[in-house]
Structure 1
Amino acid sequence: MSSQSPDKRRKMESTLDQLKKYTVVVADTGDFNAIDEYKPQDATTNPSLILAAAKMPEYTHLLDEAIEFGVSKGGTEEEQVANTMDKLFVSFGLEILKKVPGRVSTEVDARLSFDKEGMVAKALKFMALYKEAGISKERVLIKLSSTWEGIQAGKELEEKHGIHCNMTLLFSFTQAVACAEANVTLISPFAGRICDWYKENTDRKSFEPHEDPGVLSVTKIYNYYKKFGYKTVVMGASFRTTGQVKALAGCDLLTLPPKILAELSKDHSTVTEMLSVEKAKACDLEKIHLEEKDFRWEHNESPMAVEKLSEGIRKFAVDAFKLETLIKEKMLSMKNGQ
């Protein structure tokens, strides 16, 4: 038996290991090496992460295979590129699933953010490719922008097709309420980007974790969901500091980039459970219901949420376009035998 006290053993444990006792840790990366190193339960990607990974020499083979698949499907250049993109996103997902015991999130093109039918069709295409590769629905989350159309696409995918959805680019309490009412599987409120906005648009240039606007936003959403028994779970996202992460210990899930995972693994400070169902039940929150008109008005009342949602969609769209350009260039060189 060990002679060390529980406190001493805890001090030897990394902050990351302690965090995993309260919260499911997810890797926010397309880099498989980071997944190997930090052993998260799940992993999530987005167009920006896939673009960065696709440029790495060690992942060139995935891009080449996706292009071969896209070309083999025939059609116009646009159709070949679209099929290549779909295959590439799923190929990264498949590689990630070899390394995590849980689920991978695969994101629908942000340019479809206001097209409910387009988002549903793209999600079904992704799931068909995963099924072809022998992956069950339980191991995949389809990421959708938390626009009104995205939330309704999530509702349809969950109810009609049994496909689990991860609602991303979520900045307002209004978005979170609509997602809960749509019974989606999971939401990803963007703590770091919320705090960024307040630093850029107010006199405050720094916040302690307990007063951080992003942390407070995720905490309120978590408490609301647990108080009223919604099945949707909360995965805090877009972290800038380990302080923000530790302030949300106890959240259902937290998705963390490699930089934050590295810092947490080297840190040995004590982690305390900050969020819990018991605390949530005691919160003074009222249940609300949102029709589309209410959603649009209430979301519009938050300049931060409006700006960050629009900016997030635009940035992901730019990176999707860059990825398409990369594919077209590679496609041309492969056709020319270079």
Structure 2
Amino acid sequence: MSENKKTAMSSLDLLKASGTLVVADTGDFEAIAKFQPRDATTNPSLILAAAKMPQYKSVVDAALEEAKAGATLDEQVEIAMDKLFVAFGSEILKVVEGRVSTEVDARLSFDKERQIEKALKLISMYEKAGVSKERVLIKLSSTWEGIQAARELESKHGIHCNLTLLFSFAQAVACAEAGVTLISPFVGRIMDYYKAKTGQTYGPTDDPGVLSVTKIFNYYKQHGYKTVVMGASFRNTGEVLALAGCDLLTISPSLLEELDNLKDPVPVKLNAEAAKSLEVPRLNLDEAGFRWLHNEDEMAVNKLSEGIRKFAADAVVLENIIREKLQ
């Protein structure tokens, strides 16, 4: 009987039961409510998509109204952008029991001090909206400057950070050394790069993105780092299920739907206890060591740069929409 019950569960339910916290990768809080994830994560691209949906017009209009406090149009645009991110985050927190990730502007990726300043401002705005900083993860690009901004935010301000656009082992090591709360290694974008480069089609067992996250997870658990791993940027359910047992996985609504309709078994692939028996030397990276090791990974250099440009471009599109509405 228990076996029948088990097979009747969806693959999404089994994934949740594997010890993995499921996170919704969207700004659409109606979609989030449907799948009952523990957390949710957003970025400029997702907020841009949600802001264009007619059902969220009132959220956008409220942010625009508050932005009129700015003295100049540029100030108003910046206020509206911040208000929009916090407003969507606050609404998301009404439908998830855990945390929401809110991203600092990717155009600040190489400026440690301005990233810290923006993070503190966003947290202050959340607190004014009645949201505790414990329920917010500040999302920063995994540049050296972003990682050091996170180190300071975590240690001096008690603000939890999510380091995104993570592609290299060097980035993962530096994040753990900095004591950040969580990292988001991008599975699908890693696979995209190698598929384009080699022309090869990858399955879950040889997917370069899956292998990268597995290596990072095992390294963290072997050396007892507090930083947790949240696999992100999935292209198919095979990639998701190949990382069952990972601390967290952030998944788009379309893939959550597919997993909810699947009845496939979900064996645990990543195991913290098993990882402790591995023997991988611990690395300690200063800035020069980080930059060299990251630079040696052509894929990671390419995808980090591309990712920052894409998030920055979407932020500009959103700003232009806001600018037009304010004018």
Structure 1 length-normalised TM: 0.95
Deviation, structure 1 residue 323: 0.3
Distance 1:181 1:156 in 2: 12
Correspondence 1:214 to 2:213: no
| Secondary structure, counterpart of 1:20 in structure 2 | helix
What CA distance in whole angstroms lies between the structure 1 residues aligned with 2:306 and 2:298? 12
Q: Which residue of 2 aligns with 1:98?
A: 94
* 2:250 match: secondary structure: strand
Q: Which of 249, 252, 261 does residue 254 from structure 1 map onto?
A: 249
Cα distance, 1:284 vs. partner?
Answer: 2.9
Aligned mates of 2:199, 2:323 — CA distance in 1: 45
Find the partner of 1:46 among 43, 51, 61: 43
Is 1:57 matched up with 2:57?
Answer: no
State the secondary structure of the residue aligned to 1:210. Answer: coil
Task: State the partner residue of 1:13.
Answer: 9
| More moved, 283-292 vs 307-316 | 283-292
Q: Helix, strand or coil: the match of 2:269?
A: coil
The residue identity in structure 2 corresponding to 1:145 is S
Correspondence 1:283 to 2:271:
no
Structure 1's consecutive aligned runs of 4 or more residues displaced over 6 angstroms after TM superposition are none
CA distance in 1, matches of 2:66, 2:180: 31
Alignment RMSD: 0.7
Q: Which residue of 2 aligns with 1:335?
A: none
Aligned to 1:156: 152
What residue in structure 1 maps to residue 141 of structure 2? Answer: 145
Distance 2:67 2:260 in 1: 40
Unaligned runs of 5+ in 1: 333-338
Alpha-carbon deviations, 1:29-77, whole Å to 9, x = none? 01112111101000000000000110111111111111111112x2221
Distance 1:75 1:182 in 2: 38
2:193 to 197, 200, 203: 197
**1:312 matched residue in structure 2:** 307
Cα distance in 1, alignment partners of residues 293 and 208 from structure 2: 18
Pairwise CA distance, 1:239: 0.4
Q: Deviations over 1:5-32 (max 9, x none)?
A: x221111000000000120000000111
User: Which runs of structure 2 are paired with 1:109-124 in the superposition (5 Å)?
Assistant: 109-124=105-120
Q: State the identity %.
A: 64
Letter in 1 for 2:112: K
Q: 1:200-248 CA distances to partner (integer Å, 9 max, x unpaired)?
A: 11142x1120111000000000000000000000000000111111110
Instruction: Write out per-residue CA displacement over residues 79-129 of structure 1, whole angstroms, 9 at most, x where no aligned residue.
Output: 110011000000000000000000000000000000101100000010000
SS in 2 for 1:209: coil
Partner of 1:33: 30
Residues 1:238 and 2:230 are matched in the alignment: no
Output the amino acid matched with 1:234: V
Which whole-Å CA distance do the structure 2 matches of 1:232 and 1:32 have between them? Answer: 27
Distance in 2 of aligned mates of 1:226 and 1:137: 26
Residue number in structure 1 paired with 2:72:
76
- Alpha-carbon distance in 1 for matches of 2:228, 2:58: 35
Which one-letter code corresponds to 2:146 in the other structure? G
2:161 is aligned, of 145, 162, 165, to 165
Equivalent residue for 1:125, pick from 118, 121, 124: 121
Task: Count residues in correspondence.
Answer: 326
Q: CA deviation at 1:277?
A: 1.1
CA distance in 2, matches of 1:77, 1:94: 25
Aligned-partner Cα distance in 2 for 1:42–1:174: 26
How far apart in 1 are the matches of 2:52 and 2:84? 12
Partner of 1:263 in structure 2? Answer: 258
Distance 2:276 2:203 in 1: 25
The AA in structure 2 aligned to 1:11 is: T
